[in-house]
Chains A and B, each alone.
Chain A
Amino acid sequence: DAGVTQSPTHLIKTRGQHVTLRCSPISGHKSVSWYQQVLGQGPQFIFQYYEKEERGRGNFPDRFSARQFPNYSSELNVNALLLGDSALYLCASSLPGARGEKLFFGSGTQLSVL
């Protein structure tokens, strides 16, 4: 079975531009989460979507938005890019369970803002 796939793997943008990152979850997973991982730190929660509805949002500005499609794939959009948005953006799909959700992460999109 294919794991979580993210595209593109690397991206270079300049300040003020817009970016769209894409994620395809593991087949059968209906929940997708997005995390931002700045170099040297742990991932920070941005959004979670379940059945196309936003189920949670982290402490990120409105420049960050996301959506989930009927096939459960997801897009993360970031407008008006800042230098500080440079990071590894991770997508995780998950299955609920009695012992909490198990997150399965993709390899991420490395975004560099110049």
Chain B
Amino acid sequence: TQLLEQSPQFLSIQEGENLTVYCNSSSVFSSLQWYRQEPGEGPVLLVTVVTGGEVKKLKRLTFQFGDARKDSSLHITAAQPGDTGLYLCAGAELRGTYKYIFGTGTRLKVLA
């Protein structure tokens, strides 16, 4: 069974601070996605990374896919209260892209 472990599970920081969330697995994925979920809503896709070592930037968010395609990180620069939410990574199995394995989630709270 493929598992994606995220760390930390919870993070409470002040506005303006930087943070990094990690997503780790012993399995290789064909691609990895990051989502943000707010209370009462479904997850919203932020980014997809496909190539080992790939780095993608979305404004203040930087995503990296590990060289071996087993892990990923999300770095937020100068966090804002609007970044508050549950961050989920999701890996697509190698044999097909139709099943996504979701991570355990990182709940971020940014205080004004």
Contacts and interface: CB of A to CB of B under 8 A. Distances in A.
Interface of A: 4, 31, 33, 35, 40-45, 48, 50, 55-56, 58-59, 90, 92, 96, 99-108
Contacts of A58: 99
A55 B98 contact: yes
B101 A100 contact: no
Given A33-B100, A103-B90, 16 more contacts: A42-B90, A42-B103, A42-B104, A42-B105, A44-B102, A45-B99, A48-B99, A56-B96, A58-B99, A100-B30, A100-B31, A100-B50, A100-B92, A103-B45, A103-B100, A105-B43
B45 A104 contact: yes
Contacts of A40: 105
Contacts of B90: 42, 103
Contacts of A33: 98, 100
14 contacts: A31-B98, A41-B104, A42-B4, A42-B105, A45-B99, A48-B99, A56-B98, A56-B99, A99-B48, A100-B33, A103-B33, A105-B43, A106-B42, A107-B42
Interface of B: 1, 4, 6, 30-31, 33, 40-45, 48, 50, 88, 90, 92, 96-105
A82 B99 CA distance: 25
A31 B100 CA distance: 14
B98 A108 contact: no
B98 to A, nearest CB: 5
Contacts of A55: 98
A92 B100 CA distance: 11
Contacts of A107: 40-42
